[in-house]
Amino acid sequence: MNAEAAFLERVIALHPQAEGKPCVIGNCQAGWAVLLVAAIRPELFGPIIVPGSPLSYWAGVEGENPMRYTGGLAGGSWMTQLTSDLGNGIFDGGHLVENFENLNP
């Protein structure tokens, strides 16, 4: 988060003639990262675009969006930490692909 904030500070400093703040795009998990920085340093951001970032797992249509139930049952980031512990400190990205497969079983 600090690196992203420093990057945006540098971009803003290099473009003093700009009409507004930078438009920042974060796809998927990068969208989460962008919004975390924006929550702490909102003055650095213009428009924020977060395509493919499932930010509210409870949203969607009942019975049609299974991730809303998975998110509610799984309960946050503890599973990522557990699989990293089981993997001797390495998180296997294959688990992320599995999540996308579960979007429409």
Q: Is-contact 67 58, C-beta < 8 A?
A: no
Encode pLDDT of 46-92 as tens digits.
999 887 676 665 566 777 766 666 665 665 567 767 777 787 877 77
Helix (H) or strand (E) holding 24: strand 24-25
5's torsion region: left (phi>0), alpha (psi -120 to 50) or beta? Answer: alpha
Quote the tokens at residue 39: 């929550």
- Give percent above pLDDT 70 in the chain: 62
Mean pLDDT computed over every residue of the chain: 80
> What does the CA dihedral 41, 2, 87, 74 come to, rounded to 10 degrees?
-10
